[in-house]
Structure 1
Amino acid sequence: MPATLALLASATTDSHAAAALAKRLGLELLPGPSAEVPAGLDALLLLDGDALSLHQTGPRAPGPVSVDFGSAAMRHRRKGGQNELLGRAVGVGRKPRLGVLDATAGLGRDSFVLADLGCTVLLCERVAVMAALLEYGLARARRDADPWLVATSARMSLQQGDARDLAPAELAAIDTIYLDPMFPPRGKSAAVKKDMALFQRLLETDGDEADSDRLLLWALGQAVARVVVKRPLKAPCLAGRKPSHQLRGKAVRFDVYVLSAFTDCAPGDPGRETGGG
């Protein structure tokens, strides 16, 4: 069953912006900062000036979720070894100004890492609430006093909607399509974290895995150099399609489908990987 949400302004000064956002997202707008939260509501979208956050309701609910590219966690992730695997998978270093389409942007964390690695990233997110969180997070990053944050976010652009609806002109500068479909439900031995359970309901579609399969098949039909899919280590390949090679980390792997050579490669760079990782 899809999650039920409402929008709340943190202060009366946010009321006008909150009303416009609630109308755009098709959400109920609660009447004022001190409004009582209706029973049966799964989460609240809270607008606080230039910040937008998602708050799960109920006892022992996890903390709020927002898109904060300048957070300590994101700065720490810059030093993580997983970034190297992600960069290698999409083709960082194989041509200047690598264009990446993140077709399942979510909270944009992998997109930001790729932009930090020098890629120009187009983020697509079809869930309107998630896209709104990204929109506010990007806007805040671009206004930040940190030049690194401003420069990195400048290499990111956002489009709300299904990546499959992009016009050919919007795909013309894309070299790699990156997919990070929602992980399959875990077994009884490992319960899904509460925040992820909420996101699974927000992202719920008819036949999630089948839709991920269709998204891969669409991506493989585009005029790009490669398609990369992030998967749990033991998960089957999407659509039963064996990748050209895989890059494996401690918790996830990247299935890399090499379709053609990168154009405008650096001197001496073959622009193509044929296997092995």
Structure 2
Amino acid sequence: MTAQVREGGGGAVAGACRMALMRPASGPERDAADWPRLAETLGLPLLESALSARQETRCDVYLSQDETGPFLQVTGSRAPGPVRCGFYDPAMAYRRRGGQNELLGRAVGVHRCPGGRVIDATGGFAADAFVLADLGARVLLCEQHPMLATLLALSVDHLTHVQHDWRSDVVGRLSVHSGDSRLLPAGELQAEDVLYLDPMFPPGRRSAAGKGMALLQRLLPEHPDSAAESLLRWALRQTVRRVVVKRPLKAPQLCGIRPSHGLSGRSVRFDVYQLDGVAVHES
């Protein structure tokens, strides 16, 4: 793996969910990453591919790679298909046609600061980050879960080396930081940066459909609104250009803090806090 994962703390993966790396049995994917080193770094077992996901009993979730790219796979008798980063979603081509009218791009203000940097403080599967990079922004993806951060880095690296693919140029504007965005090195955030937050699992959304969401629920602990509020309060104390928070359309404003303005779609909205390099200090 040539993609660089910036380390920011977090240590080895731990928890009730049994995780592993699965080395592909054959083909170029077997050597696409240094699987033994990744397993050692993550503190996870490295398994050899032998069973189907529905027959696999040695782990609950594993990270691997096939001809399409890196993926996470849930195991068990009812295992769904693999889950990949948002870069691989066919819907990305459709969102691309939205151009500057893409609601997310308008909320972040990419047209106001061409080539500006966005700090995605809640990386996940990076679908929104990819859209922003496609609009020209440079995006730093911060992901606390080491396995998810590794998936992101492997995916960026994979697409970087795919020839004649429009996504190759886009992922060149993405970088991955493994760790809590709130622990970024002093001086990392600049006045022209935008902080983007997409808090996990707001109330009433725990049963959200989709294998990606189901996988995140399995990997990550509960994220009550108090955690999202803490993240927003931190973000508003930073001397950045603006803070953008993605919320379900009907969800309340975090912390009860009224945004400068908002943009709403059919199911989500973006609360925009315009700071212009001046941090907000609550009384």
- 1:254 matches 2:280: no
Do 2:264 and 2:270's aligned partners in 1 also have CA atoms closer than 8 Å? yes
Pick which of 112-121 and 167-176 moved more.
167-176
Matches of 1:203 and 1:211 in 2, distance apart? 13
Aligned counterpart, 2:18: 4
Aligned counterpart, 2:61: 43
Do 1:102 and 1:122's aligned partners in 2 also have CA atoms closer than 8 Å? yes
| Equivalenced residues, count | 258
- Structure 1 residues 49 and 204: alpha-carbon distance in aligned structure 2, compared to 1, 3 A threshold: same
Percent identity for Structure 1 against Structure 2? 48
Unpaired runs of at least 5, structure 2: 1-14, 279-283
Deviation (angstroms), 1:168: 2.9
In structure 2, what residue type is equivalent to 1:120? Answer: R
Q: Deviations over 1:42-95 (max 9, x none)?
A: 222224489321111223322101226255232222124896211111112112
Matches of 2:161 and 2:191 in 1, distance apart? 26
Matches of 1:153 and 1:187 in 2, distance apart? 30
Matches of 2:67 and 2:107 in 1, distance apart? 38
Aligned counterpart, 1:267: none
- Structure 1 residue runs of 4+, over 4 Å off? 80-83
Deviation (angstroms), 1:215: 0.8
Aligned counterpart, 1:136: 154
Unpaired runs of at least 5, structure 1: 263-277
Aligned counterpart, 2:43: 26
Matches of 1:239 and 1:114 in 2, distance apart? 26
In structure 1, what residue type is equivalent to 2:252? Answer: P
* Among candidates 61, 77, 83, match of residue 59 of structure 1: 77
Q: Deviations over 1:125-175 (max 9, x none)?
A: 111111111101111121121363222211111111111111133212752
Matches of 1:177 and 1:68 in 2, distance apart? 19
**CA-atom RMSD in angstroms:** 2.8
In structure 2, what residue type is equivalent to 1:246? Answer: G
- 1:165 matches 2:183: yes
Matches of 1:187 and 1:168 in 2, distance apart? 34
TM-score, normalised with respect to structure 2: 0.81
- 1:149 matches 2:163: no
Aligned counterpart, 1:197: 214
TM-score, normalised with respect to structure 1: 0.82
